[in-house]
Structures are given as C-alpha cells and as structure tokens.
Amino acid sequence: MLLLSPLLGEAHAHRGAALRPHSRAPPRRRAAAPRLSLADLGDLEDGGACAIDERCIYFVTGNAMKRREVDTILSDAGLPALGLRVQHIKIDLPELQGSSEMICREKCAEAAERVGGAVLVEDTSLCFNALGGMPGPYIKFFMKACGNEGLHRMLAGFEDRSAYCQCVLGFSPGPGAEPRLWVGRTDGRIEPPSGEGGFGWDASFVPHESSGSSYAELSLEEKNRISHRAAALAQFVAYCREHPEMLQEIELWNTPVAPS
C-alpha cells in the first residue's frame, strides 16, 4: 500500500522506501561553511582515521543514544560485511524549513562539503494526523518548548491520537554529489509519556506493533525491529549490497589526492 506524506509530497511505501536523486534544480543553498580540517573534527573515537579511510562514512549526530542505535542497526543489517564502517561526528548544520525530504537533502549536501567525504544524515519527523502532519520535521523545537507532556496535551480535545514517525536518511559519497534518500516510517499513536528508556519523544509514541508499549518502554532490540530509523538504515545497507558501484563512489571520493 502506498501512502502520501504531506511533508514529503511524494508517495512512499508504508514501512519505508528509497527516493531517487532529485532530478529538478535544487533549491538555492546558502554558502557552505568552511571545510573542516582534521583538527576540527574533534575528539573522535578512531583518532580521525575515518578522514583517510576509503570505506568510512561519517554519520552526523551528537546524540550518544542515537549513536548506539545506529551502530546496532547497521551491524545487524550487515554493513561491516560490505567492508564499510561508520564514524559518528557532531557538526552544527543549518536549521531549515521545508519538507523532510528537502531538509535532509540540503543538510546532507552541506555535511559532505564540510567533511570532504562520504556522509549519512537523517531528518526525523513526528507527525500527528489530527494536526495535518505537524509537528513533523520541527518536532525538535516542540520538544524543547513543551516536552513529552506538552506533546500529549497538544491533542487534548481530539479523538484522533494517531501519529507516525518518519526517518528520512540521506547519503552523499562526497562534496558536490547529489544525495540519495531513503524513508522509514512507523505508525502508532500519542499517549501520556511512559518509560525510562530511549530519548527525545520516545516516551510519548506508542507504535502499533509494540502491543501497547512506548518506544521508551522497549528494549533496544525490540525498538530496532520496528523503528523508523531501522527501516531507513536497513534500506541503505540493502542498496549498498545491491549496487556495488556505490562502494566504488565512496572509495573514489575518500581517496586522498596526492600532492602535485
């Protein structure tokens, strides 16, 4: 079954779908920030080895709990077996307005420019059907303003408490390359916050497939079986497996250029 997302403006599959590279002229980007030097990359676990590793991809996040989720999902999906690895990096990217697809595409392109190599960037949405898809990609700001209790109160007076969370995952092999996107989605509902695990709005979202438990009440293994993030990342790994030419793209962009 295909669902039309008001935030993406494109049809996509219920549990996730790949989006083709954008064929139209992209929206005008602001001037990119200067490219990061090895020293700018900060205190990385691998000492900066990813910057010279031909099969290393930077995953942009500063959230330690998200890092744990991503590492587990990618390992279970078989990314290491393809000879690829991920190094997490925190980069301050611009906060944009628009569809989740546009936001992710722009952030991914800028991140690739900043690190000078392959990157993965995600844009996550929490969408209330009673509110026409809001907060959507702006959920981060709603969480800062009102927290999980506030999210629940936003639907006071509405019979429809259904919602879905969505992860748009963007990949670019390097600066100037058009990002590829994949979408993962999980349907559920908004309930009073419960559970001590997870992060962000996990305590408020109850997936249909969880037998009444919020994301925050699930173990990491249980959450990763049904989560929007896991669906998007699994598609990325499957795409890498089915398109070996993409591995060559990563190697090409990440190969250091010999000095002239």
Q: What is the pLDDT of residue 45?
A: 57
Q: What is the pLDDT of residue 21?
A: 46
251/8 Cα distance (integer angstroms): 31
Residue pLDDT, tens place only, 176-210: 999 999 999 999 999 999 999 999 999 999 999 99
Question: What average pLDDT does range 55-63 have in this prediction?
Answer: 93
Residue pLDDT, tens place only, 132-155: 999 999 999 999 999 999 999 999
Average pLDDT, the chain: 84
Task: Between 179 and 255, name the one with better pLDDT.
Answer: 179
Q: Which domain holds residue 58?
A: 49-254
CB count, 10 Å around CB of 44?
Answer: 16
* Contact predicate 49/56, CB 8 Å: yes
Task: Say how far residue 116 (Cα) sits from the centre of its chain.
Answer: 19
Beta strands in 103-204 (DSSP E): 119-128, 135-136, 162-172, 180-190
Distances (CA, A) of 175 to 50, 69, 76: 16, 27, 29
In a domain, 213, yes or no: yes
| Residue 78: pLDDT band with limits 50, 70, 90 | very high
- Residue with token string 């963007």: 170
Where residue 151 sits, what CATH number does that domain have? 3.90.950.10
Give the count of domains, the chain: 1
